[in-house]
Structures are given as C-alpha cells and as structure tokens.
Amino acid sequence: MEGVRWAFRCGAWSPSRSEWLLAARCIQQEEKNRIGQFVFTKDAKSAMAGRLLMRRLVCEKVCLPWDGFRLGRTERGKPYLAEPSSPGSLHWNFNVSHQGDYAVLAAEPGRQVGVDIMKTTRPGSSTVQEFFRIMTRQFTELEWRTIRSAGSDWDQLAMFYRHWALKESFIKAIGSGLGFDLQRVEFHISPNQLQEGRVYSQTRMHLDEEQEDGWTFEECLLDKHHHVAVALGTPEGSVYKDAEATPPSFTLLSFSELVSGATPLSDEDPAYWESFQSKQEAPVRQSEA
C-alpha cells in the first residue's frame, strides 16, 4: 500500500470567518486552545493545517469517523493516534511539518516516518557566513564541505536547509527530540541539484559513522524555495521491503479538500475568530522579507 504525501499552502490561505470557525470546530479542544495562544496568524494557520491534515489522514486511511478518535502527543511531542489504540490490523505512522508557506504530512503503513520542510531564507541580522559560523556544530565536516561547495551564498543557504531538513526528518521519525546529537548523523547527498516536480531517494545516511541501509530519505522541492525531506525507516522485526517502488509525490490540497468529510467536534466559538482577526500575520521583519 502506497504512502501518503499531502501539502497545504498556509501562506496563501486568508481564511474567511466561516472557514476559520469551521476549522476550529474540527480539531480537539486542547489543540484549539493551543493554536489560539499563538501571537501571529501565520503560526496559527500553519498549526491548524497540520492538525486538519492528520485528522483527514486517520479518516481516510484508518477508516475512522472524524469524531471517532483522539490524537495525542508523545512526551517529545510526536503526534500519534491515541484512541482507539489498535483500530485495525494495519498500523499507519504519520508526521507533519510546517515552515515557510506550507504545512506537509507524510504517512506510511508499517514504517517509521518523519517529515520536515524548510524554506530557504536569508538570515535576519547576520551575513550568510556568520550564520554558518554560529551553526557550525550542527553538521559534520563532510556536510559543511558539501554546503560550502554549493556555489553562491544563496546556493549555500539552500544546501544548508536541505541538510537541515534531512536531519530533522530523521529525528522526528525516531521521536528523539532536542536531546539528539546532530553530529551522530551524517548525510551523503545525491544528486547535488534537485528539480521541481521530481522525488529523489538516492541520499544516504551514516549513523555513528556507519551507513544505515535500512533508512530511505525522499527529497523534493515543493517550489524553488521549499525543500521537503521524508525519512522512512523499517520498524524492528519488520520485513518491509519495497525498494523498487516509485516515491510518491506531494499532493497540494485546497481548504475544502482539507476538511472533506470533517465532522465538528464542538460548537461554534465567535470569539475565536475575533481573537484571530485581531492578530498580526507575522513579525515585522518576516513581513518585510
């Protein structure tokens, strides 16, 4: 069974009153409260899209009604299907990421999965090389050679964020969180240049200086500025093998598709819209970038 790759363009979404209130009704109360605490609407929209992506995934692939399950978070923040704990014989793993202009979801039956999206942007208050100096400990010597050999400062930034997305996708797949030493993981990327509209899976990972053949990393560009990495592992004891399968592409969903089949979990809350509408889209520096 093929995995799922969905994307929603939060940056282009200017929700109407009815859309925002419907979205808020279709997620769990604790998540609605958490999203309501964001200072900027950019972050609120991204988080909302992430929750809706996961609920649609469970409905469509696990075949549970929208109001018939509860999503939880592990101690390290990774989302999972909390109730019912064993809805069927096929166990779906899923993960979301939101950064830049998109929220993305990757899901796989019977495999560990982590996803990360990064938008290539210039550092706010420092030069590219000063930014790299600050981030030195995040990558190995080989990775820094690859990053610095990419060409112009902009090309080096793009390669930096490509490596960052790869590392984050792996950390999210294993659920390790902030305590994981990024120096333990080294990526040998291939190809050097990615093209929009294609999915690549040639990049290899070395963990503690040993190549990890059990892990697959899918890479793609949603557009020229947004790089996505999907980490796919083989669960312990599994004989999952599908090395020849063509990696799935990301499907861009509209808001109506995002809430397709949704059932409200709570009553409408007009104050939630008033609070959202009163907020700024993003910090001034980001708005001007």
Task: Band the pLDDT of 25: cuts 50, 70, 90.
Answer: very high
At 218, give phi and psi (nearest 5°).
-95, 135
The pLDDT score that the predictor gives to residue 289 is 43
Q: Return the closest-CA partner of residue 111 out of 10, 237, 12, 201.
A: 237
State the average pLDDT over residues 190-195.
96
Q: What percent of the chain has pLDDT over 70?
A: 92
Domain 112-233, CATH among 3.30.70.1150, 1.10.287.1260, 3.40.640.10, 3.90.470.20: 3.90.470.20
Residue 181: CB atoms within 10 A of its CB come to: 9
Indicate if 112-233 has the same CATH topology as 1-110+242-289. Answer: yes
Q: Which of 61-65, 106-110, 145-149 has the highest mean predicted lDDT (pLDDT)?
A: 145-149
Burial class of residue 133 (count of CB atoms within 10 Å of its CB; 0-12, 13-18, 19+)? exposed
pLDDT for res 288? 43
| Whether pTM exceeds 0.85 | yes
Q: What's the pLDDT score for residue 90? A: 62
Average pLDDT over residues 140-148: 97
Nearest to 182, CA basis, from 134, 143, 240? 143
Q: What does the pLDDT look like over 231-285, one tens digit per residue?
A: 999 865 554 555 557 889 999 999 999 999 999 999 999 999 999 999 999 987 6
Query: Mean pLDDT score of the chain, rounded to an integer?
Result: 91
Given pLDDT bands bounded at 50, 70 and 90, which one contains residue 179?
confident
Domain ranges for the chain, please list them. Answer: 1-110+242-289, 112-233
Predicted confidence band at 37 (pLDDT cuts at 50, 70, 90)?
Answer: very high
Chain segment 92-101, per-residue pLDDT in tens:
899 999 999 9
Q: What is the CATH number of domain 1-110+242-289?
A: 3.90.470.20
Q: With contact defined as beta carbons under 8 Å apart, do 275 and 36 qualify?
A: yes
Strand partners, 116: 229
